[in-house]
C-alpha cells in the first residue's frame, strides 16, 4: 500500500501509533483517533476500505452504518470493500436439554422461586455455539448484503424463509448464522460462523420457540424474520420471528402459527 489510514475512536490508537513508530512505518501508516463520521482524511479518496464491523446476528451494534458512511464519502469509483458480501442463514434445531435447563433454572434460584421470569428468559435470543447434530432441517438464506450497493435503510429488513425437516424430531428453536466473502480479490476468500465450521467468537444466534413441535421428515417450517434498530438503543436490535409448521401428511395444512418478538441487547 502507498499509504494506510487507520481510524479508531478507542485509546488503542496510542499504542498503534507507537507500534508504527518503532517499526519505522510513519511514512506509510497514519493512525487517526476519532469517529469515522467526524474525522478528516488528508486525501480525497481511498482505494480500499477494510473493516471488521460484524456483530452477533451480523447487524448487532450497527457498525455497518459506519462502513457505508466511509464508502460514500471516500471510496474511489471501482475501489474495494473488504469484506464485501454477507449472507444470513437459518435452520431448525432440537435442543430440549439446554432449553429445559434454562427454563427450569428459574424455579429454584438458591432456594427462591423465580419462575415468573421463565417467559422473560426467552425474549432475548441466545448467542452460543451449538452442536451441528442438533440441526434437524435444511438451511435457508434469509438476508443478503452487498456492501457496494446496500443502503443503511435496507439493513432493517423483513424477509421470508422456508426450511424442510431432514428427520423425525421435536423442534425447540431456530438457529441463525452468517457467512462472509472477500470477493473483490484475485483469489476469493470466505469464512462462515455456522455450526458446521470452526468456532468463531460470533458463535450462532438461537431463537427458542414458545413450546416445541413434533415434526416429521419432509415437514416444512416457514415464516419471516424482521429486524430493526431498537428505538431505545440504536446499537441493539428488535427482532420478530414468525413460524408456521406445515405437515407433509396433511397436504401442508398449517398446523401451528406463531409470532415471537425478541430483543438482542
Residues paired with 245 in a beta bridge: 221, 256
What is the DSSP code (8-state) at residue 63?
Answer: T
Annotated catalytic residue within 38, 52, 153, 198: 52
Q: Compute CA 217 distance to the chain's CA centroid, rounded to the nearest angstrom.
A: 28
Separation between Cα atoms, residue 9 and residue 96, nearest integer Å? 43
Separation between Cα atoms, residue 41 and residue 32, nearest integer Å? 9
Separation between Cα atoms, residue 66 and residue 59, nearest integer Å? 12
Q: Which three cell numbers stand for residue 176?
A: 441463525
> What SS3 state is found at 107?
helix
Exposed, middle or buried, 99 (CB in 10 Å: 0-12/13-18/19+)?
Answer: buried
User: 52 catalytic, yes or no?
Assistant: yes
What is the DSSP code (8-state) at residue 44?
Answer: S
Annotated catalytic residue within 61, 96, 124, 162: 61
Closest CA to 175 of 160, 194, 159: 194
User: 61 catalytic, yes or no?
Assistant: yes
Separation between Cα atoms, residue 7 and residue 185, nearest integer Å? 23
Separation between Cα atoms, residue 88 and residue 178, nearest integer Å? 4
Q: Which three cell numbers stand for residue 139?
A: 438451511
Cβ(158)–Cβ(225) below 8 Å: yes
Separation between Cα atoms, residue 81 and residue 47, nearest integer Å? 9
User: What are the catalytic residues?
Assistant: 52, 61
Amino acid at each position: 500500500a502507498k499509504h494506510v489510514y487507520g481510524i479508531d475512536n478507542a485509546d488503542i490508537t496510542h499504542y498503534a501509533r507507537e507500534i508504527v513508530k518503532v517499526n519505522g512505518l510513519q511514512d506509510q501508516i497514519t493512525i487517526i483517533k476519532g469517529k469515522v463520521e467526524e474525522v478528516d482524511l488528508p486525501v480525497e479518496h481511498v482505494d480500499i476500505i477494510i473493516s471488521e464491523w460484524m456483530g452477533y446476528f451480523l447487524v448487532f451494534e450497527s457498525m455497518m452504518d459506519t462502513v457505508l458512511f466511509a464508502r460514500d464519502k471516500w471510496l474511489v469509483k471501482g475501489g474495494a470493500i473488504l469484506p464485501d458480501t454477507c449472507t444470513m442463514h437459518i435452520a431448525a434445531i432440537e435442543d430440549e436439554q439446554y432449553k429445559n435447563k434454562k427454563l427450569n433454572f428459574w424455579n429454584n434460584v438458591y432456594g427462591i422461586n423465580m419462575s415468573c421470569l421463565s417467559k422473560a428468559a426467552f425474549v432475548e435470543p441466545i448467542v452460543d455455539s451449538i452442536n451441528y447434530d442438533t440441526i434437524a432441517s435444511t438451511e435457508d438464506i434469509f438476508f443478503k448484503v452487498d456492501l457496494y450497493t446496500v443502503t443503511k435503510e435496507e439493513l432493517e429488513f423483513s424477509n421470508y424463509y422456508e426450511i424442510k425437516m431432514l428427520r423425525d424430531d421435536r423442534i425447540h428453536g431456530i438457529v441463525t448464522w452468517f457467512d462472509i466473502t472477500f470477493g473483490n480479490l484475485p483469489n476469493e476468500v470466505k469464512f462462515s460462523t455456522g455450526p458446521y465450521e470452526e468456532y468463531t467468537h460470533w458463535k450462532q444466534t438461537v431463537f427458542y420457540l414458545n413450546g416445541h413441535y413434533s415434526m416429521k421428515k419432509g415437514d416444512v417450517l416457514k415464516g419471516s424474520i424482521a429486524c430493526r434498530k431498537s428505538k431505545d438503543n440504536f446499537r441493539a436490535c428488535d427482532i420478530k420471528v414468525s413460524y408456521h409448521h406445515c405437515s407433509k401428511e396433511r397436504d401442508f395444512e398449517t398446523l401451528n402459527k406463531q409470532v415471537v418478538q425478541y430483543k438482542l441487547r
